[in-house]
Structure 1
Amino acid sequence: MKSTILFLCVACLAVSSSKALEQPNIILVFADDISARELPVYGSSVWTDPKGKNTDAPNYRAQTPVLDKMAKDGCWVTQCWGATVCSPSRAMMMTGRYAHRHKWWTNGDLGTVITDKNKRMPWPLYESSPLLIGHVAQQAGYGTFWAGKTQMKGSDLQKFGFDEGCFTPGEQGAPSNPHTDFVLKPVGSYSGPQINLNSGARVESSYGQFSWYWKPHVRLMNYPGAAPLSWWPNTPESKASFGVNTFGPDVELDFIFEYIDRQQAQKKPFFIYHTTHLGHGAHDWLSPGNSQSWTPTPKVHWDGKSYTRTDPNITGDKGIFEFNDSITEPGIHKHLEYIDYQIWLYQQKLEELGIADNTVLIFCADNGTSKYGKHSPDRQKGTHVPLIMYAPGMSKHGRQDIMVNLSDFYPTVADITGAEIPRDYEIDGESLWPYLMTNKSEHRKWVYSYRGPMQLIRGEQVMLDGNGAWWDVTSEPDDLISYREIKDWGKALEIQREEQEVLMRVIAPYDLHASAHDAPGTPPEEKKQKKKK
């Protein structure tokens, strides 16, 4: 099997690495709805403004000095692909597999299984893929912590291989949080008119949600001394300070750092899977008129060496708030700047504990930016995400013109931790570790993705998008998307025609949406017939 072979290869090739690592800690920061073009290091001529439009306005360009330096000291990958939307990308990351195996085709199109109670439900990833990325790290003796967004519909979060967790807003289907009224409660269905429980106002166009930013819904998993799933705030001190000025991403990082401290006290390595919501739009309870937007964040300031953060000073209630110049304007650029601040906090924590030289730090995202790429099968708008990595002793630095798929992180974590994936356990990812740590010059010849029945694939010469269009990718356009469409293959280069044939053969075994949509043995779902009036 690919991953096992790579595992054996890296054991031999590691001798050529400039610095061997001993059970390195791993921090994987997995952001939400952020296209590669939003990060300055990618050099795009356009990015996204607060309304979701293309812009080249400098004031809407995120400033990310920490990630920029991490890309230089470590490396950044020009072509990293996820799926076109959240659930299948997260499934790809956690399983190391494509949808033809795990059956999570796209949001709202998840393969199903019939339960013992004869109920049809989404097929949980721990059933389709019983050895998940958390299990891989646990198998190698790592402590594992999952923070942030889950997006694991119909699943038991305690079966994913994570010892502890801090979830915002908690798993889908979690009961109402007794600590926050920043909630949109459906009037009828999940997607439709809602009631803002803080203001009492009716919201006509949104979907049911708890706040994951301000005054957040927070649930802890397996916190020491507490029930397996328990609410936060959970102490007299945290209850006294909790309120509208509490910012969910801060809470996540507090619990991550507490967990890291406990692991270090026991001298045990850790794997942090930080699936932050930052990058994702949300209902703005602070300014309800903004509806679904990139909500403001606390203000942070970079002085050239370090960050300082301004404590939020929001006052008011019932949908009427004053910000007192203590939070930012809305916009995805501000979310990216807060991510940059949190990456800096990670680095400071690692230095403080003396483990920076034995910790791998990875930043990437699940799919394209909302209103630009999210859900889109057009070219690689939905699939092209940022990837910046740092590992002490790595042989590669700066720009890396390679192709990477989110499924590659599964075998990469196995290689880093020293876990061995069973030979008969099939995966689709290919480990990045040999490329990062040796003189290996290539990683992949192609990168693949999907959106429901649509298939997307990119090679070194040509790309097929989900609409069935082919594109010439031999040169990179300034905006990272305006490739030349190939309409007449008779005028294409011979090498492009040859690669097209190869890529069509590659994707053929993955084309199972129509023939094997659900778990094996699950009868097809009967389509509901609309009643004629």
Structure 2
Amino acid sequence: MSSALRIVPLLLLLATFCPAQEPAPRPNIVVLLSDDMGYAQLGFTGGTEVPTPNIDRIAREGLQLTQFYVQPVCSPSRAALMTGRYPWKNGMEERPTAVSKHGMLRDERTIAEALREAGYATWMVGKWHLGEWQSPHLPNARGFDHHYGHYSALIDSFTHTRNGVLDWHRNGVPVIEEGYSTFLLAREAERLIENRPADRPFFLYLPFNAVHGPHQAPDDIVARYRRLGKNAAQRAQLEAMDTAVGTVLAALDREGLADDTLLIFTNDNGGTPNTSNGPYRGFKSAYHEGGVRVPAALRWPGRIPADKKSDALIHVTDFFPTFCRLADADAEAGLPLDGYDVWDTLADGKPSPRTEVLYSLMTIRSGDWKLIEEGAQYYNWGKQPLQLYDIVHDPSEETNRAAEHPEIVAKLRRRLEEIRKTAREPEKSEKIPGYPPAVYGEREDRVFGEQIRRSIEALGAAKDDATRNGGQ
């Protein structure tokens, strides 16, 4: 027998005992989103006022992103996360107000829909703010099997109301209950994890209403921060949110899921003026870095390097195609995405495929350069002069280089002109008929409105309880 023929049976024998490596199992995906938190309020970003051991643990056991970008305010960022598309395309460039009935465009495909189509259980626990009135805009109609939390921008954290209107729901049914919203959300997430389906992975989206105003927290937590002489209740909100993050981490640990879960913590926009955005200029609603660059940490043991930092350019829209890749979901089934698959960047440190970020139709970063067009403004941020910054070497945006580099200004202006052509008409912003209703959600108000009106005063929803506000 020739040597070649003798080798063949040996190879067949080895193949019997050395099967091909199985593909990596699809991870559970958990996204924890804070609201209006300052960049430098966390321990891992240099904060010293409030201990945040649980959030810091995610950063320590995972990867910190130092150039992670969102939009300047909440709804545009949330819509970008949900759709993988910029807000001027998905109808959320302007956020819904307390009295408006418009929402995210209905032909947009959400990441929850994509993951559910791929076999995931999809849960949302927390703040939605992508439409709070019409049923087709609400979470259960946008891909989530389960929703618990509130629809609008903000609530009283104890009465779960806004302007006396109940905004607390579970799967399209109003919920009247006592409890501090941050802790209630954590307990709901904990229950979902404990009672998860055994035969499929899950996607948990947990956007806290903390640390958004009204700044409220339990008295015993607020008392620890009165010594600071500034917004003690906002600091207490942050501590409470960190405790809630710890509840989720403990549930994953207890259920043996930590190694099978991609866990992300980030923020929806820059911090408000009563927070600290560290070295960055500006705050929420501003196009400067303090309004759009936010902390982000990702953990997946064994898949994402631990205790590392990445300065890769990444935007919140990039989560959509990245999640789809990991979940074996079809990223291309909906409208064209603006996000990039950045998994190789996160896991292996390869260069980011992204070279530009759009903050609005008048603000762009391309490579090292960031242009704020003359006249750009947003909400409480006044009109701005023409500005050009070398953002890599001047992240604090101290030196306007527009006069020195007219050719770069012209190039970026041409790019913005191209981008403006992609904008779509949002839904008309009409007022909720007969505002205020008893409860947010048109169907809920119709079915449960009278019952809510009879019950809401007993809970104290219309009262201003200064002690629960931490005296702020």
**TM-score scaled by length of structure 1:** 0.64
Q: CA deviation at 1:487?
A: 3.7
State how 1:438-457 maps to structure 2 within 5 Å.
Answer: 438-450=348-360, 454-457=361-364
- Secondary structure in 1 matching 2:195: helix
- Secondary structure in 2 matching 1:166: strand
Which of 119, 133, 138 aligns to 1:141? It is 119
1:93 aligns with 2:81: yes
1:196 alignment counterpart: none
- What count of residue pairs does the alignment treat as equivalent? 382
1:20·1:393 contact (CA, 8 Å) conserved in 2?
A: no
1:458 aligns with 2:458: no
Name the CA shift for 1:62/1:448 in 2 (closer, same or farther; >3 Å).
farther
2:368·2:391 contact (CA, 8 Å) conserved in 1?
A: yes
Which of 224, 235, 243 aligns to 1:341? It is 243
2:64 alignment counterpart: 76
2:66·2:310 contact (CA, 8 Å) conserved in 1?
A: yes
Counterpart AA for 2:392: T
Name the CA shift for 1:428/1:298 in 2 (closer, same or farther; >3 Å).
farther
Counterpart AA for 2:388: W
2:129·2:153 contact (CA, 8 Å) conserved in 1?
A: no
Which of 133, 139, 151 aligns to 1:171? It is 151
State how 1:117-516 maps to structure 2 within 5 Å.
Answer: 122-125=102-105, 127-129=106-108, 131-153=109-131, 154-156=133-135, 157=138, 158-167=140-149, 170-172=150-152, 183=161, 185=163, 218-221=168-171, 228-233=172-177, 242=178, 246-264=179-197, 266-282=198-214, 294-297=215-218, 330-371=232-273, 373=282, 375-397=284-306, 398-422=308-332, 425-450=335-360, 454-465=361-372, 466=376, 467=384, 468-475=386-393, 481-490=396-405, 503-512=412-421, 516=424
Q: Deviations over 1:391-430 (max 9, x none)?
A: 1223444111112211111112212211012367301011
Counterpart AA for 1:358: D
2:127·2:152 contact (CA, 8 Å) conserved in 1?
A: no
Q: Deviations over 1:315-335 (max 9, x none)?
A: xxxxxxxx9x69987243333
1:102 alignment counterpart: 90
2:266·2:295 contact (CA, 8 Å) conserved in 1?
A: yes
2:129·2:152 contact (CA, 8 Å) conserved in 1?
A: yes
CA distance in 1 between counterparts of 2:272 and 2:107 reads 29
1:473·1:483 contact (CA, 8 Å) conserved in 2?
A: no
CA distance in 2 between counterparts of 1:83 and 1:442 reads 19
- Secondary structure in 1 matching 2:370: strand
Name the CA shift for 1:135/1:378 in 2 (closer, same or farther; >3 Å).
closer
Name the CA shift for 1:357/1:298 in 2 (closer, same or farther; >3 Å).
farther
**RMSD over aligned Cα atoms:** 3.5
Q: Deviations over 1:487-525 (max 9, x none)?
A: 4225x9xxxx55x55544443332259x85436xx8x99
Q: CA deviation at 1:261?
A: 1.8
Q: Deviations over 1:148-183 (max 9, x none)?
A: 11112244222110011111xx33499x99xx8675
Q: CA deviation at 1:378?
A: 4.3
CA distance in 2 between counterparts of 1:463 and 1:441 reads 20
Name the CA shift for 1:19/1:249 in 2 (closer, same or farther; >3 Å).
farther
Counterpart AA for 1:384: R
Q: CA deviation at 1:375?
A: 4.7
Counterpart AA for 1:27: V
2:368·2:390 contact (CA, 8 Å) conserved in 1?
A: yes
Counterpart AA for 1:369: G
Name the CA shift for 1:389/1:20 in 2 (closer, same or farther; >3 Å).
farther
Name the CA shift for 1:247/1:438 in 2 (closer, same or farther; >3 Å).
same
Q: CA deviation at 1:209?
A: 6.2
- Secondary structure in 2 matching 1:413: helix
CA distance in 2 between counterparts of 1:423 and 1:415 reads 13
2:439 alignment counterpart: none
Counterpart AA for 1:161: G
